Amino acid sequence: MAELGCDYGARLCMPTRQWELMRAEVDAKSPEEACGFLAGTGQCVLAVVPVTNKLHSPVRYQMDPLEQLSAFQKIEQAGYELLGIYHSHPNGPDMPSATDIAEAYYPDVIYIIWYRSSHMWGCRGFTIREGIVNSVGIQVIQDK
């Protein structure tokens, strides 16, 4: 199990609309792990881009490579940057698994883990750099 710290310099800001879109996608894909990208500018998420989990597994995800490429193109065309990668753990845990840590290939993004707690979805954010996992704040703001 990785030691969990706190990356006080990192946080993610997300409008309610984007938050709900991501939560609905995670819920719709359950019991499989859902996955996708978060894009925007600075620390603010402006787009949620779901990607198919080609493994269709409740305990592991692997993004469909063609959809992943298409998502990167959409993000670039919108003038956004990749801010985060999300996926769900329908049966827990509420933090990155050993596999998630080993496969964290984007050290500058925030990894979002959705998990079930008492039949409700919860969500946590993390940075993962060189195997070090740090908790990150997620701020959901009202849409303008």
Q: Say which residues have a Cβ less than 8 Å from residue 123's Cβ, sequence separation at least 6.
A: 23, 112, 113, 114, 115, 138
User: How far is the C-alpha of 91 from the C-alpha of 58, rounded, in Å?
Assistant: 8
Pairing relation of β-strands 44-51 and 120-129?
A: unpaired
DSSP state of 34: P
Known active-site residue 33 = yes
- Out of 3, 20, 33, 76, which one is annotated catalytic? 33
Between CA 14 and CA 39 the distance in angstroms is 10
- Catalytic sites, residue numbers: 33
